[in-house]
Structures are given as C-alpha cells and as structure tokens.
Amino acid sequence: MKLKYIAFLLLAFMAIPALAEKITPAKWSWSIKPANPKVGEQADVIFKVAIEKDWYLYSSDFDKDLGPTVTTVTFKPGSGFQTIGGLKAINPHSKLDTEIWNGTYTYFTGQGEFRQKIKITAADYKIEGSYDSQSCSNVSGLCVPIRGIFSLTGKADASAVIDTAKAETPVAPVIEVPAQTPVTPAPVAETPEDESLFMFFWIALGAGFLALLTPCVYPLIPMTVSFFTKQKGGKSLAFLYGGFIVLIYVFFGTLLAFFAGASFANFLSTHWIPNMLFFTIFILFGISFLGAFEIVLPSNLVNTVDAKSDKGGFIGVFFMAFTLVLVSFSCTGPLAGSILIAASQGAFLKPIIGMLGFSLAFAIPFTLFAIFPGFMQKLPKSGNWMNEVKVVLGFLEIALAFKFLSVADQVYHWHLLDREIFLAIWIAIFTALTLYLFGKISLPHDGPSKNLSVPRTLFATAVLAFVIYLVPGMFGAPLKGLSGWLPPMNSQDFKGSQTAEVPAQKNDALYGDFLELPLGLTGYFDFEQAKAAALKANKPLFIDFTGHGCVNCRKMEEYVWSDPSVLQRLKNDYVVAALYCDDKTELPASKWYTSKVDGQEKKTLGDQNLDFQISRFNSNAQPHYVLLDPRKDDKPMVQPVAFDANVSHFVSFLDEGKSIYQTAK
C-alpha cells in the first residue's frame, strides 16, 4: 500500500511542470548608480534582465511598427528626480528579418541591460514605474510578454548640492534590488541565429564564384597565373596575392560594419530613403549587366594603381591585387555592392563575413592555379557564355531591386506595390529571362546565335518552371515558398473565385474597424461577443490567443489555417474569436479593471486579453488555441494546443472538439 502512495506522489510531482504552463524566461532587476547620489547629480537607473538559455528578449532600439514588442520602461511622475533623455539599450545584438518583419530588430541573449539617465532634484527621491518587454524561445518559437513594476527609494545628500556641469560623477558600487516576479506575457518573433551569418557567408561565397565567370574577370585568370609561374618564388607570391585580395575586400566590409551599427542598420532596413536608394542602385546594376552601359572607376585611379604594381616585391603584389579589384569593378561592383547592401541591414559582423566569403571565392582560383598550373588546361575557354552569365545576373539584380521598394511600400502604406503588382513584375522579368535563355531575344553584347547548350537549356527550363509557379499567385495562391519575399496576402486586390467566395469580416464585430482575421475568415475580437454569437449559431467556440508581433501565429495561419481541410472547419464548424494579447488600444475608462493575477490595472485591449488567458487557461504564450463549449464555458473541451505546423494534428484537434460538442447535452 505504501508503494502505491509513493508512486502516486511521484506521478503528482511529475505532473506539476505540465500543469504549470505560465512561463517566465526573463527576470528583471534594477539599481541606481552611483548608489548614493547627491542632490543635483545625474545618475543611471540600471535595469538588468536575466534571460534563460535558448530564449531571447527584444530590445528597445528598433522601429516599434516593425512587429515585435519593443521593450519600454515607463516612469511615474515622482518626487525628487527628473528623467534625462530616453531609455538606452547596452550592446544588443541585431538581426535582419526578411521573412516576417521585413526589417531589422535588436535583441539580448543571456543578459540584457537598459539604462535611463536621471537627475536627482531633492533629498528624498522615489523612482517607480513599469516595464513591458517580450521574450521568445529559439527552440519552441513561443513568445511571452514580460511585464512588471519597479520601485527605488532613497535619500540624497543635500548638504552639498553639486553643479553637474562642473563636477564629475563619483563611482560607487551598484547595489541590485531583486525584482518582483514579472507578470504577464506577450507574443512572438523570429529566432535570432548565428546560423544566419554562416548562411550569408556561403551566399557571398557563391556570389564571388559567379563574379569569376564574368567577362571582366575570367580572362584575367590565365594572364595573372602566367605572371606568377614565371617569377622566382611565384607560388609564395601567389599566396600573398590571394591574401591581399581578401584583405582589400574585408577592409571595405569592416568600414561598413564600423559605420552601420544597430540603430543605423534599422534605419537602412526600414526607412524609405535608403530602401529607395538601394532600389535605384540595384536597377542601375541590373541594367548595366544587361549591356546598356558599364559602371567603371575613373581611369586615372586605375592607371595610378596599376603603375605601382611594377615595383615588385610585397608592395608590387599588393598593388597587383588592388589593380585586379579595380579593373574588374564593372562586373564585380554590382555583386559586391549587393552583398554589402544586404549586409548593412544585419548584424555588425555581416559586412565583414560577406566580404570574406566574396573575396575568398575570388582569391582561391588565382592562388590554386598558380600552384597547380596544369589545371589551367581544363578550364573552359573564354567566350559568349561569360556575357550570358552577366545578363542572367542582371535580370536577378532587377528582380531583387523590387524587394527594397516593397519594404518601403509596406512600412509607409503607399500601396504602390501590392502583391499582385509585385508578382506581375516578377513574372515579366523572369519571362524575359526565359526568352533570353531560349535564344528568342538578344542583347547588345551577345555574340552570334548558336545551338543551345544542354546546361543553358536546363537552366532556361528551370526559370520557366519558376514563372509557372508564380502565375497562380496572381489569383490568390499563397506561394508559401516565397512568403518572405512577397508582399502580404492582405495587400492583394485581385483574387480567384475560390478566395472571393470567402466572406469578409463583418463590421458589427467589436474592434473590427482595426482588427481582422486572416484568409477572409469571419469572426470576433471580444470574448463575450464571440460567446454570444456561438450560442446563437449553436457552434463551439474557437479561441485564438494571438498577437500582432507573433511570428508563429502568422506561420500557423499561413501553413496550417490556409489548408482547405482546416479552413473549411474553422469557417463551418466553429465561431472564431481572435484575442490579440499585444494590442495597445486603450479602452474606455469604464472597462478598466484591476487584475486578480498581478494586482495591476488593465487598461488596454491586449492587457485584458492576456489577463484572461492567464487567469482562465494558466498560459501566457502565443499562439494558444482553445476550444470551448459556450453552453458551459467552464473548461476547454480538448487540451489546448500551441504552435504545431502539422496540418493533420490540427484537423484532429478541431474534429475532436466538434465531436465532443455534438455529443454533449
């Protein structure tokens, strides 16, 4: 009998983690430095955030309209202090997200730190307020809001009121005050990974190898290798030559990294001025590759550098490498420039990594062929195929240019480049490329037409297949493989008959004037209204705890909800309630209340929805899907589910809830 009790207790303890669904992956603490400020002295309120392994916390220094929840700290008007300037994030990481947010955000891992400068104005001071942040998991993709209140009180030395313009701030040890348990959660975001730098390196390396095949570079390989094979110690000089090529490119990458910090990267990725500039540059690069004109450096510069390469020795080899970089600029400039533009919108190391990859691809062949000159015999001869490579790159540059225009268009709501217009442009560009590859059109620098080679025919067929893949998108097909490149589906006006049959969101839904459900679904954004509608329709209630900044919410909608088997169940079998947990819309004062969970007043729509999720379902992460019987409204009919990209699992979840509802009295 005792063994049974022991087994029961063990099972109970094992079940505790499963029942405790509320997550607190980031804990705040705060302090003031110096610890004993004088009246009139400036001090820093320091907020430190301990972040659990495999989680990250969004920072405070990126565009709040991007999507993820930007960390904010709000100070109550207090006594004895004044805030100076805004909240400063200390050395956050930076990441460019092109799939969901179309911009750069900053974040912390391990530990985050924020500082707010203040001025002490009285002997007795009380500093209090609240913080609002969001932490997301690299493993599960879940995101939770991290919110709470802080308070610091103290007595300043009023006997020696100092003039901060003349006196230096004394240094004193930081005394940390433990934070109260953070309450509340928020929505989602994309996983920041160091793998993105690794992938970018390989992309840059591939771009470097493509640059080798252009007519400005490829013919220089045998000439340069021939020079080194005739020199005494030529192999050593060839290594040095390759090293100098890498050094020159990485130098420019390092310069860009130095000037493009996190805030500047955010400006580059989201502001309309740099995006329109990049759009124009890419268009010019593309037209240049098509043969309309050449982008070349001043001849005086090239000649001066080339003359210095005759000096011999290390200096001569360096200027030979520099000459190669300059002479090949008309072909490599657009490619290297594209790499640098992409890198400028990412992490600090990205420009350096990009130029390292690009230059290695450039330097390796020259070095290897100088060491093993016999391999030169196996190289294809120069010919018209090099110009064909250049033309293909030109079409790709023009296509990529519209991605920058699309970012500016979405951020500023110009509606110049909605989804169907973007697709029409891409279809036209890649159709023209297909015709060129099949030999149906020619460009200025093309040689005499000949029979198509097998590689060119296969590549042309692949491009044609890509065009065919794009066409259904004009009629509303999701084109999931390009979801990160295309404007959002809700920007498309022209849709096929299947999509057109889906009714639009009813206007009588509370908050329906600024909130909407995806995929044309009809639903509600207030629990009580949705419950009443479900009772009237005699249907179960599907609750979607979601957020504007919830990446996994968008992925579920795009990859799971869009499946016909799921969509028709949501449309026909359930009344849908989308409860946004990060919406900042302030409700009328008559709807404000104080939460029993954390004792804080809930004034916004998002705060109330999140408080409802925590208090009723003991969960604070999104997405979170709950199936309720509105006739009982006591507990979920089925165990709620979170992010799961398996369509069959979600169908089973919905079917089980429907079956339980129909059999219940």
Span 3-16, pLDDT tens digits: 444 443 444 433 43
pLDDT of residue 195 exceeding 80: no
Q: What is the pLDDT of residue 271?
A: 65
Q: Tell me if the pTM is above 0.95.
A: no
Task: Please report the pLDDT score of residue 494 as a whole number.
Answer: 66
Q: Has residue 536 got a pLDDT over 70?
A: yes
pLDDT at position 576 over 60? yes
**pLDDT per residue as tens digits for the range 265-291:** 545 555 678 778 888 888 988 898 888
Indicate the angle between helix axes 234-259 and 350-371, nearest 10 degrees.
170
Q: Given a cut of 60, is residue 17 above it in pLDDT?
A: no
Q: What is the pLDDT of residue 270?
A: 56
- Provide φ and ψ at 8, rounded to 5°: -65, -45
- Residue 20 predicted with pLDDT over 60: no
Is omega for the bond preceding 380 within 30 degrees of 0, making it cis?
no
pLDDT of residue 181: 36
Residue whose pair of structure tokens reads 């029993």 in the numeric block = 596
**All domains in the chain, ordered by first residue:** 25-155 (2.60.40.1250), 195-384 (no CATH), 502-663 (3.40.30.10)
CA 281 to chain centre: 23
CB atoms under 10 Å from CB of 591, counted, come to 11
pLDDT tens by residue, 163-188: 433 333 333 333 333 333 333 333 33
Residues 575 and 489: their CA atoms lie apart, in Å, by 23
Average pLDDT, the chain: 78
DSSP state of 645: -
In this predicted model, what pLDDT tens digit does every residue of 36-56 receive, in sequence order?
Answer: 888 888 999 999 999 998 889
Q: What is the pLDDT of residue 6?
A: 42
The strand pairing partners of 553, in sequence order, are none
- Phi and psi at 345, nearest 5°, equal -100, 10
Which of 665, 652, 653 lies closest to 627 in space, CA to CA? 653
For 172-186, 302-316, 432-446, 498-512, which range has the lowest pLDDT when averaged over its residues? 172-186
Cβ atoms of residues 576 and 521 within 8 Å: yes
Q: Is the peptide bond before 34 cis (omega within 30 degrees of 0)?
A: yes
Band of pLDDT at residue 361, cut at 50, 70 and 90: confident
Which helix (H) or strand (E) covers residue 302, if one does? Answer: helix 299-308
pLDDT recorded at residue 504: 47
What residue type is 648 in one-letter code? S
pLDDT above 90: residue 417: no
184 secondary structure, DSSP code: -
Residues 6+ apart with CB under 8 A from 27: 49, 50, 179, 181, 182
Q: What is the pLDDT of residue 599?
A: 84
Task: Pick the closest to residue 545 from 642, 635, 644 (CA basis).
Answer: 642
C-alpha span between 619 and 606 (Å, rounded): 15
**Omega of the bond leading into 222 within 30 degrees of 0 (cis):** no
In the structure encoding, which two tokens stand for residue 366, read together? 């020259």
8 Å CB contact between 519 and 492:
no
Residue 510 has phi, psi (to 5 degrees) of -60, 135
Closest CA to 72 of 92, 89, 51: 89
The larger pLDDT score, comparing residue 360 to residue 312, is at 360
pLDDT at 310: 60
From 296-310, 425-439, 440-454, 503-517, the region with the lowest mean pLDDT: 296-310
pLDDT digits (tens, 9 = 90+) for 366-387: 778 777 777 766 777 767 777 8
Residue in the structure block whose two tokens are 């979920």: 636
pLDDT in tens, 420-470: 999 999 999 999 999 999 999 988 888 777 788 888 999 999 999 999 999
- Rounded alpha-carbon distances, angstroms, from residue 15 to 21, 62, 142, 620: 11, 40, 21, 19
Write out the DSSP string of 581-612.
SS--PBPPGGG-EE-TTTS-EE-BHHHHHHHH
Tell me the Cα Rg of the chain. Answer: 31
